[in-house]
Amino acid sequence: MLNEIVITRAIIDRYMEKLKDHLELDAAIVGGGPAGLVAGYKLAKAGLKVAMFERKLSIGGGMWGGGMMMNEIVVQEDAKRILDEMEVPCREYQSGYYTADSVMCSSTLCSQASKAGLTIFNLVSVEDVMVREQRVVGLVINWTAVEMAGLHVDPLTVRAKYVIDATGHAAEVVRVIARKVDAKLFTNSGEVEGERSLWAEVAETNTLANTREVFGGVFTAGMCSNATFGSYRMGPVFGGMLLSGEKAAEQVAQRLADEK
Ligand code: 48F
């Protein structure tokens, strides 16, 4: 006989266990697009305590829709090894260009990252940061439903040694810092440089170069890197996103190792 109250208690207990277990993190990832997922996968594989906060119900960000809702993505040669490692099937289209089904890719990256040990909190939005001595030391979170309804409900907090802003075009964590913290970002102007128009080749190279620390304790990943440091968008070619997630994770892991 199924008891509805046991079902309810199981969900509440397990969720609260999970949440309480992730209030103090080595790394917090904001945004569950391809860059955040690869970063989370790599950090979890390295044995670090890492959680992801994603505003939406679904994980995968801008990957599901492929290009203009045609659910295929393109990945170039140098990033194919990440698809291989994460067991996403892909096919060569012509020399140097591979395609993957975007639904398969989104769901598999999510699955592999979760299985590696990344804990994902979907339906949670990051609305602010905590800063101490010119360094971000944590995130301010709230239910997306509260944000959407415009309810006046105070948020809660999560402490993190490092934060990866993988919020895509919006660069939301970086923008909060620029708006609220009386300090310069590590960009040329000290402000958010902003995204430029579409140029796949340059954008993909720059995404990797722009994957770096933008403020004490905060690294950018994915499209957020170009939106922050001022470079082009790339459209539905995803190699740069995957490589950027990997690079952000490597940088964070290195810092944590150096601090031991
Ligand atoms: O946009 P998104 O997929 O970022 P990405 O990993 O990849 C970019 C590509 O999808 C594409 C592109 C390259 O081909 O240009 O756009 O850089 O995923 C970002 C995720 O962050 C979530 C948002 O819902 C999305 O799923 N997000 C954004 N702001 C917040 C957030 C926030 N404040 N709190 C929580 N999640």
Between the CA atoms of 185, 187, 191 and 192, what dihedral angle is there, to the nearest 10 degrees? -110
- Domain membership of residue 95 (yes or no) is no
pLDDT tens sequence across 118-130: 999 999 999 999 9
What does each C-alpha distance from 123 to 53, 126, 135 come to in angstroms? 8, 10, 26
Q: Is 170 exposed, middle or buried (0-12, 13-18, 19+ CB in 10 A)?
A: middle
pLDDT over threshold 90, residue 213: yes
pLDDT tens sequence across 139-158: 999 999 999 999 999 999 99
Which pLDDT belongs to residue 243?
98
Which pLDDT belongs to residue 141?
98
Are 223 and 240 in contact, with CB atoms under 8 Å apart? no
DSSP 76: E
Are 105 and 63 in contact, with CB atoms under 8 Å apart? yes
What φ, ψ does residue 51 adopt, rounded to 5°?
-135, 155
* Distance in Å, CA 4 to ligand 1 centroid: 36
pLDDT over threshold 90, residue 180: yes
* Distance in Å, CA 46 to ligand 1 centroid: 23
pLDDT over threshold 90, residue 43: yes
> What is the average pLDDT value for the chain, to the nearest integer?
98
Q: Is there an atom of ligand 1 within 6 Å of 54 CB?
A: yes
Q: Is there an atom of ligand 1 within 6 Å of 175 CB?
A: no
- Domain membership of residue 157 (yes or no) is yes
Average pLDDT over residues 106-134: 98
- Domain membership of residue 82 (yes or no) is no
Average pLDDT over residues 47-76: 98
Query: Which of 55, 202, 226 should be mutated for ligand 1, with most atoms under 8 A from CB?
Result: 55
pLDDT over threshold 90, residue 57: yes
Tokens of 53: 């906060």
SS3 string, 98-167, reads: EEEEHHHHHHHHHHHHHHHCCEEEECEEEEEEEEECCEEEEEEEEEHHHHHHCCCCCCEEEEEEEEEECC
Between the CA atoms of 251, 36, 31 and 209, what dihedral angle is there, to the nearest 10 degrees? 50
- Domain membership of residue 69 (yes or no) is no
At 26, is the pLDDT very low, low, confident or very high (cuts 50, 70, 90)? very high
Average pLDDT over residues 156-179: 98
Angle at 219 (CA atoms; ends 194, 138), nearest 5 degrees: 110
Average pLDDT over residues 25-34: 98
Which pLDDT belongs to residue 175?
98
pLDDT over threshold 90, residue 260: no
- Domain membership of residue 98 (yes or no) is no
Q: Is there an atom of ligand 1 within 6 Å of 233 CB?
A: yes
Which pLDDT belongs to residue 218?
98
* Distance in Å, CA 224 to ligand 1 centroid: 8
Give the range of the structural domain holding residue 8, as residue numbers without chain letter.
4-62+119-259
Of residues 183, 260, 245, the one with CA closest to residue 214: 183
pLDDT over threshold 90, residue 38: yes
pLDDT over threshold 90, residue 11: yes
Q: How many domains does the chain have?
A: 1
- Domain membership of residue 96 (yes or no) is no
The rounded percent of the chain whose pLDDT value lies above 90 is 100
The one-letter code for the residue type at 128 is: D
- State how far the Cα of 172 lies from the Cα of 124, in Å rounded to an integer: 14
What does each C-alpha distance from 55 to 92, 135, 172, 242 come to in angstroms? 33, 24, 11, 20
Which pLDDT belongs to residue 164?
99
* Distance in Å, CA 31 to ligand 1 centroid: 5
- Domain membership of residue 86 (yes or no) is no
- Domain membership of residue 166 (yes or no) is yes
Tokens of 50: 């890492």
Which pLDDT belongs to residue 21?
98
What's the pTM value of the predicted model, to 2 decimals?
A: 0.98
CATH number of the domain encompassing residue 254: 3.50.50.60
